Amino acid sequence: MRLPKYIVYYLAEKKRIRLGLSPDPALDYHYWQSQGYLYSPPRALSGPLPLFSAQRLLSTFTHKPFVEQNATFLQRLRLKWRSHRSLTPPLDLPSLPSVGQQELESLMRGKLYLWQELARLWRGEDLASAVQRLVLDGKCQLTAAVGQDSWGRLVCRRCGSTRVEPDRWCCKDTTCFQCVECDALGKASTCTALVAMARTGQDIRRDVAVKLAFSLTAAQSAASRKLVEFVQNQTSHTCLLWAVCGAGKTEVSYEAARIVLAKGGRVLFAIPRRSVVRELAERFKGAIGGVPIQALYGGVSSEQRRREAPLVIATTHQVLRFYRNFDLVILDEVDAFPYRGSQMLQRGVERSLRPGGKRIYMTATPDRAMLERAKGERWDLVRIPVRPHGHPLPVPVPLIDPSLGEEPGRLPLRLLSIIESSPRLFLFVPSVRLCKAVAVKLAKTIPKVASCHAQDPQRDQKLLAFRNGEIRVLVATSVAERGITVPGAEVMVLFANSQLFDEGVLVQMAGRSGRAWDNPTGRVWFVANSQSQAMVEAIGQIKEQNHQAEQLRLLTVA
Ligand SMILES: [Zn+2]
Ligand SMILES: [Zn+2]
């Protein structure tokens, strides 16, 4: 069902007036009558207009639409002069929608929809009237998806971006403006609406149980307890969980999530990569019993989207689909694309939280800005400085060779002998071009070498072959830096002083080494022709984590 046209109108009773917009002002009139108000019939201030124009017109009369207010004689005179006609209500007032209203509410609670999305999911009749009823009840917000801000600029109301572009082919007879920032989530434009409804009240209490196939280590249990304290604490609202690469931080958040869910709250676990969402949802299903779990990512069917679950596992972009819904949002890899530096997603996270809701940010490599913010805003800080196997993190060895050129043409012999001696080696380079060139160069003398980068269609197969041992040296761009565990792998970062490698990226790459239980140690080298600040800081951060682990007596070996 298409978005209807809206009429701007006002209702008056002596000195009291109420301005609004509606696809059918008679419906609104009937509604206020049923609430005991004795207004004269509505007077129109416009003909049927697109919602965008109707809202703009309404804002010239009032900033409090649908709210009854006092009006001076002059204001009433102005309205009367502007209203071109009095609307005669039909003898039979339109009936107030009530059938299906419950179903609509349950579909909308805590969500933010584009009109066309809601129309696809809604199975009842006359969506426009049903939504208008919720607007009049004050339960739901309806606004043009792209509207004007107080400066008159066009702005997307879903993602907050002002990057809107004209689209002449969208609607007949008019030029629509479309947001280019969030179009992957469905087209937000001046000719469609956003409908948002906050979740109010708590769900009923639930019996939720956490069952893990293994027990948490001392470091993990301590962190888990701190997260529980954080969700039970009334005063703090943000917590940074800083865990070394491979520390098992997902499991650490289960107990905190359980407590929120048991109280009837809702939890979102958001991660950057779509490929991990389903796998993670399965892990949660195995570990947390007693609540339905929903997995959300780009391209899920509308049937799946329709479901409602207290625990949602989703890609970070999906936060834009929620409105004041969650009591706890857990964000994994906050230091990484796409969350880092994205105003849109940061705003989206805030909007998906209920007032007073809490956030847990998880990362292995917080940058300085984040640590400073954490300090300034008094976030709770929880650290896991050690991996479950209790061995210290391998500390990178800087190999500085001033003769190392920009080209891989001649790699020092010393490097070649290290590469040859390593049982399994991640060889990271800064660019796709170098990735291919280094692999070609090495393959001349060393067997089982392959290259892998983001655009490589065989990326997944190669990572698998590397894991199985069919490939011994994998030359990769930093794409392979996160989220994969290859037992017994060692790490060499070539041209480690490249500007593309900041402290966080270097720590992540070094973190590919020494992860496995049966192979907890490993070697890491940073190779460059001069030492960069990022290299120094990355090595410093890793040493500091090991120091912290030692201080807390979390290391099982010296
Ligand atoms: Zn947008
Ligand atoms: Zn249009």
Model pLDDT for residues 369-413, shown as the tens digit of each residue: 889 999 999 999 999 999 988 899 999 999 998 888 766 667 788
Ligand approaching nearest to the C-alpha of 159: 1
> What's the 454 CA to ligand 1 centre distance in angstroms?
26
Q: State the pLDDT at residue 31.
A: 93
> What's the 164 CA to ligand 2 centre distance in angstroms?
13
> What's the 222 CA to ligand 2 centre distance in angstroms?
54
122-149 average pLDDT score: 92
Token pair in block for residue 242: 């800083």
Model pLDDT for residues 403-452, shown as the tens digit of each residue: 887 666 677 888 888 898 888 999 999 988 888 888 988 888 888 999 98
Number of H helices, E strands in the chain: 18, 27
Q: State the pLDDT at residue 453.
A: 85
Q: Cβ neighbours of residue 194 under 8 Å, at least 6 residues apart?
A: 112, 113, 114, 115, 141, 142, 143, 144, 145, 157, 158, 188
Q: State the pLDDT at residue 303.
A: 75
> What's the 171 CA to ligand 2 centre distance in angstroms?
4
> Is a pLDDT exceeding 70 seen at residue 96?
yes
Give yes or no for a cis peptide into 338 (omega within 30° of 0): yes
> What's the 179 CA to ligand 2 centre distance in angstroms?
12
> What's the 481 CA to ligand 1 centre distance in angstroms?
30
> What's the 481 CA to ligand 2 centre distance in angstroms?
42
> What's the 158 CA to ligand 1 centre distance in angstroms?
5
Ligand approaching nearest to the C-alpha of 116: 2
Token pair in block for residue 36: 């005991």
Ligand approaching nearest to the C-alpha of 145: 1
89 pLDDT band (50/70/90 cuts)?
low
Token pair in block for residue 400: 């500085």
Q: 378 — alpha (psi -120 to 50), left (phi > 0) or beta?
A: left
Protein residues with C-beta less than 5 angstroms from the ion ligand 2? 170-171, 176, 191
Ligand approaching nearest to the C-alpha of 185: 1
> What's the 183 CA to ligand 2 centre distance in angstroms?
14
> Is a pLDDT exceeding 70 seen at residue 100?
no
**Separation between Cα atoms, residue 501 and residue 493, nearest integer Å:** 10
Residue 468: Cβ-neighbour burial (10 angstroms; 0-12, 13-18, 19+): exposed
Among 245, 251, 307, which Cα is nearest to 284's? Answer: 251
324-334 average pLDDT score: 94
- Of 156-160, 189-193, 478-482, which gets the smallest average pLDDT? 478-482
Helix or strand or coil: residue 18? strand
> Is a pLDDT exceeding 60 seen at residue 360?
yes
Among 233, 264, 239, which Cα is nearest to 252's? Answer: 239
SS3 content of the chain, % helix, strand, coil (to 5): 35, 25, 40
> What's the 96 CA to ligand 2 centre distance in angstroms?
29
Q: State the pLDDT at residue 536.
A: 95
24 pLDDT band (50/70/90 cuts)?
very high
Beta strand 288-289 with 209-210 is antiparallel
> What's the 167 CA to ligand 2 centre distance in angstroms?
7
164-177 average pLDDT score: 89
> Is a pLDDT exceeding 60 seen at residue 481?
no
β-partners of residue 499 are none
From-to residues of CATH 3.40.50.300 in the chain: 222-384, 397-551
Helix or strand or coil: residue 31? helix
Q: State the pLDDT at residue 480.
A: 59
542 pLDDT band (50/70/90 cuts)?
very high
> What's the 186 CA to ligand 1 centre distance in angstroms?
9
> Is a pLDDT exceeding 90 seen at residue 224?
yes
Is the C-alpha dihedral spanning 329, 381, 521, 510 positive or negative?
positive
- Of 43-57, 158-172, 444-458, which gets the smallest average pLDDT? 444-458
Q: State the pLDDT at residue 409.
A: 65
Q: State the pLDDT at residue 91.
A: 60
**Separation between Cα atoms, residue 289 and residue 285, nearest integer Å:** 7
CB 315 within 8 A of CB 271: yes
Which CATH code, of 3.20.20.370, 3.40.50.300, 3.40.50.720, 3.30.420.40, is assigned to 222-384? 3.40.50.300
> What's the 342 CA to ligand 2 centre distance in angstroms?
27
Q: State the pLDDT at residue 150.
A: 82
> Is a pLDDT exceeding 60 seen at residue 558?
no
- Of 96-110, 361-375, 465-479, 495-509, which gets the smallest average pLDDT? 96-110
> What's the 344 CA to ligand 1 centre distance in angstroms?
8
Q: State how far Cα 318 lies from the chain centre.
A: 6
Q: State the pLDDT at residue 12.
A: 92
> Is a pLDDT exceeding 70 seen at residue 321?
yes
Model pLDDT for residues 238-293, shown as the tens digit of each residue: 999 999 888 888 999 999 999 999 999 999 999 988 878 888 999 999 999 889 99
- Is 454 or 439 the better-scoring residue by pLDDT? 439
- Is 409 or 519 the better-scoring residue by pLDDT? 519
- Does an H or E element contain 251, and which? helix 249-252
First-residue to last-residue Cα distance in the chain = 68
Among 156, 161, 165, which Cα is nearest to 188's? Answer: 156
Fold assignment, 397-551: Rossmann fold (3.40.50)
482 pLDDT band (50/70/90 cuts)?
low
Residue owning tokens 């584009």: 114
Residue owning tokens 């009237």: 129
> Is a pLDDT exceeding 80 seen at residue 210?
yes
> What's the 168 CA to ligand 1 centre distance in angstroms?
18
> What's the 336 CA to ligand 1 centre distance in angstroms?
21
Q: State the pLDDT at residue 171.
A: 87
**Separation between Cα atoms, residue 490 and residue 521, nearest integer Å:** 9
Among 467, 532, 453, 452, which Cα is nearest to 500's? Answer: 532
Beta strand 267-271 with 43-44 is unpaired
**Separation between Cα atoms, residue 484 and residue 312, nearest integer Å:** 23
Q: State the pLDDT at residue 86.
A: 67
> Is a pLDDT exceeding 90 seen at residue 177?
yes
273: phi then psi, degrees, rounded to nearest 5:
-100, 130
Among 378, 381, 398, 414, which Cα is nearest to 501's? Answer: 398
83 pLDDT band (50/70/90 cuts)?
confident
Residue owning tokens 């030029």: 175
- Of 109-118, 191-200, 309-318, 464-473, which gets the smallest average pLDDT? 464-473
> What's the 144 CA to ligand 2 centre distance in angstroms?
11
CB 21 within 8 A of CB 65: yes
